[in-house]
Amino acid sequence: MRTAATGLDSPAASASHALALRAPDQVMRLERLGAAHPTRLSFLRAMLRRASREQWRFSIPLWDLDAAGHGRALLAIDTPERRYTQVCFSTPLADADRTDRVIATAWDTSYVLYDGEPDSAEIARLEANVPRQEAGRFTPKDLILSRANKSVRLFEHVVERLAEGRQPDPELVESVGYLMRTTAVYGNGKFGIADRDRIAGRPEFAGPFRAEMLSVWLTRAFTVRLAEHVAEQRAPGRAARLDPTMRRALGVGNSTGLGMAPFLVRHPLLVHRWHFARETALARVRALRGTTADRVAGFLSALAAMREDVRRWRTEDPVQAPRVAVLADELALVASRAPHLLAAGDDPWNRLFLFGESELTLEGQEALAALILEPHGDLIDDLAETMDAEEEPSWRIDGTISLGAMAALVDAAYGWTDRFDFAAPEATARFWYVSQEKLEPRLGERADEDGAELEQPLAVARDMVAFRRALAEADPAESLAHFLMRHPDWRHAARRAFIAAVHPYSEVRDNLVSAAMRPVDLLRAKLAFFGASRFDPRSDRWLRISLFAGYPHPDELATGS
């Protein structure tokens, strides 16, 4: 049976009925995007499912570290067709030089995900370049480049306790959550590493950011072994290994700032694919006529796990901290109401979803949406393979269309911009630019800072309001081609309009140069699709997150656990 909502032919769909996806004007508002939670479609989850299904094999071909944990190591993953090696370098770093800022030039550890296994000559080349990061020189054999700094307090505590033959303090482990945090994970041809085209056709990297997730997963494995290694060197034969439960609880931290924020604007087709897949998954589940005891049990188990994760969620951000407290209460409410709402009857999952829409905050609604997906892998996991997209930088502009028809197309796709008054100073209080020093995106204050003449075209809502006005003032019978020949500055707006006309989830439907805009909402929206959790804003412009906390290590997959 094919349903209008799911576009799916499958036995699971035969028990469903047509149900519309959530509207883009609901889903793509910045406040809701800033409440996003990871789901089973998130990129690290999709990678782990493939790794488990294909039984990827983990090994350590080289472990050459001194007593202080400085040196080099190779951690290898064998997929059914290829070997990939995380080449790891651990180097001394003075406390004065330890910073998460992008301007740093030295780090505790640095990594490259290598295509194959490097020989001695390649290891020497990498050792000369990888610790230098942006200043190094790389080849297409180098797939991912990254670096990470220790959480010094927790790392030293773990080493000290293990050297004493004891386990770390669970409360301290819980409060920090990681031994290392990455400050950059580069892919897609940066600094001479491999272009995406080199690996895009490989099944293990078929989805977005799968290579990056593999690299971070191996970084996590290295950091745990690094701590155990240093402990063993301090107390040979007496040091303990990390308890498996505590070992799995440790993720990889990440510090992310404005450099990531414009991504959701610059990649409209990809952003549409991500959100369309998630919304399709939610519609498939909501459309189910009934449910089973196993699915209900799976939901309740996921709910219990999320409640525990929220209990461990630490942030002092004045906006996010109250939201976390409210979320804990809302999940308790869901726990009390879900058994009744999922009891026998039609549309149980939709009933639960609508309860959330009426009773929960945006944070709670998005958490519940993620939970509803959890027990339905057989119905939705295929969508994880549809979330990649080849962006078309020359997306074809139909120059033959009349300006009247173009105006109608833009009005339909961007009518949501009517709610903004760009004559108000606060509506255009900021501007996006690229730092000359680091070639990274930055956000300027228009009234107080120079550089607005170098503004990047990221104020889509403002530009579309002006584009609509320009079209309305032109001859409706004129062709778009002639109009753009006279006004080439509108080419970027025309191109976006053609994309948005057929990809409704491609735009963040908000004003990204407003004084009230919080860039961390953009960061969270993207990182949730990666699979990040425990979002900890450190200001409105950067945040820390955790990746892979609670998930298996590579050697655990190899043993089938």
What is the per-residue pLDDT for 395? Answer: 72
- In this model, does residue 561 exceed pLDDT 90? no
Residues 6+ apart with CB under 8 A from 279: 21, 22, 27, 505
- In this model, does residue 547 exceed pLDDT 90? yes
3-state secondary structure of 209: coil
Q: Given pLDDT bands bounded at 50, 70 and 90, which one contains residue 24?
A: very high
Domain closes at, from 389, 413, 442:
389
What is the per-residue pLDDT for 9? Answer: 35
Q: Given pLDDT bands bounded at 50, 70 and 90, which one contains residue 16?
A: low
Whether 430 is in a domain gets the answer yes
Residues 6+ apart with CB under 8 A from 530: 38, 42, 43, 44, 209, 213, 547
Q: Tell whether 237 and 331 lie within a shared domain.
A: no
What is the per-residue pLDDT for 54? Answer: 95
Q: What is the mean pLDDT of residues 337-347?
A: 91
- In this model, does residue 298 exceed pLDDT 70? yes
Which token pair is 138? 């790389």
- In this model, does residue 18 exceed pLDDT 80? no
Mean pLDDT check: name the lowest of 21-30, 112-121, 384-393: 384-393
Q: What is the mean pLDDT of residues 458-473?
A: 97
Q: How many angstroms separate the CA atoms of 65 and 88, rounded?
A: 10
Q: Given pLDDT bands bounded at 50, 70 and 90, which one contains residue 6?
A: very low
Whether 525 is in a domain gets the answer no
Q: What is the mean pLDDT of residues 213-234?
A: 98
Whether 217 is in a domain gets the answer yes
Q: How many CB atoms lie within 10 A of CB 550?
A: 16
Q: What is the mean pLDDT of residues 486-511?
A: 96
Q: Tell whether 319 and 462 lie within a shared domain.
A: no
Q: What is the mean pLDDT of residues 174-181?
A: 93
- In this model, does residue 304 exceed pLDDT 70? yes
Q: Tell whether 423 and 380 lie within a shared domain.
A: no
Q: What is the mean pLDDT of residues 410-431?
A: 96
Which token pair is 512? 């990204």
List, for residues 105-145, the tens digit of each pLDDT value: 899 999 999 999 999 999 999 999 999 998 999 999 999 99
Q: Tell whether 55 and 180 lie within a shared domain.
A: yes
Three-point CA angle 164, 170, 174, nearest 5°: 135
Averaged pLDDT score across all residues of the chain? 92
Task: Report the 3 state secondary structure along 426-478.
Answer: HHHCEEEEECCCCCCEEEEECCCCCCHHHCCCCCHHHHHHHHHHHHHCCCCCC
Q: What is the mean pLDDT of residues 393-415?
A: 91
The answer to whether 431 and 485 are in contact (CB under 8 A) is: no
- In this model, does residue 555 exceed pLDDT 80? yes
Closest of 548, 504, 543, 549 to residue 524, by C-alpha: 543
- In this model, does residue 393 exceed pLDDT 60? no
Q: What is the mean pLDDT of residues 279-298?
A: 96
The pTM of the full predicted model, rounded to 2 decimals, is: 0.92
Which token pair is 165? 């033959």
Domain closes at, from 354, 389, 424:
389
Secondary-structure percent of the chain, ordered helix, strand, coil, rounded to 5: 50, 15, 35
Q: Cα separations (Å) of 434 from 505, 514, 557? A: 26, 18, 42
Q: Tell whether 150 and 172 lie within a shared domain.
A: yes
The answer to whether 376 and 285 are in contact (CB under 8 A) is: yes
List, for residues 225-241, the tens digit of each pLDDT value: 999 999 999 999 999 99
- In this model, does residue 488 exceed pLDDT 50? yes
Q: Tell whether 140 and 195 lie within a shared domain.
A: yes
Residues 6+ apart with CB under 8 A from 534: 177, 309, 312, 313, 314, 315, 545, 546, 549
Q: How many angstroms separate the CA atoms of 47 and 61, rounded?
A: 23
- In this model, does residue 13 exceed pLDDT 80? no
Q: Tell whether 272 and 195 lie within a shared domain.
A: no
DSSP codes of every residue in 9-58: BSTGGGGB---PPPPHHHHT-HHHHTT----TTSHHHHHHHHHHHHT-EE
Number of structural domains found in the chain:
3
Share of the chain above pLDDT 90, in %: 84
Q: What is the mean pLDDT of residues 394-421?
A: 94
Task: Classify residue 422 by its DSSP letter.
Answer: T
Whether 273 is in a domain gets the answer yes
- In this model, does residue 377 exceed pLDDT 90? yes
Mean pLDDT check: name the lowest of 340-349, 498-507, 517-526: 340-349
- In this model, does residue 411 exceed pLDDT 60? yes
Q: Tell whether 106 and 207 lie within a shared domain.
A: yes
Q: Tell whether 61 and 21 lie within a shared domain.
A: no
Strand partners, 445: 430
What is the per-residue pLDDT for 392? Answer: 62
Range of the domain at 210: 43-257+551-558
Whether 221 is in a domain gets the answer yes
Q: Tell whether 153 and 187 lie within a shared domain.
A: yes
Higher confidence at residue 98 or residue 377?
377
CA 494 to chain CA centroid, nearest Å: 28
Q: What is the mean pLDDT of residues 77-81?
A: 96
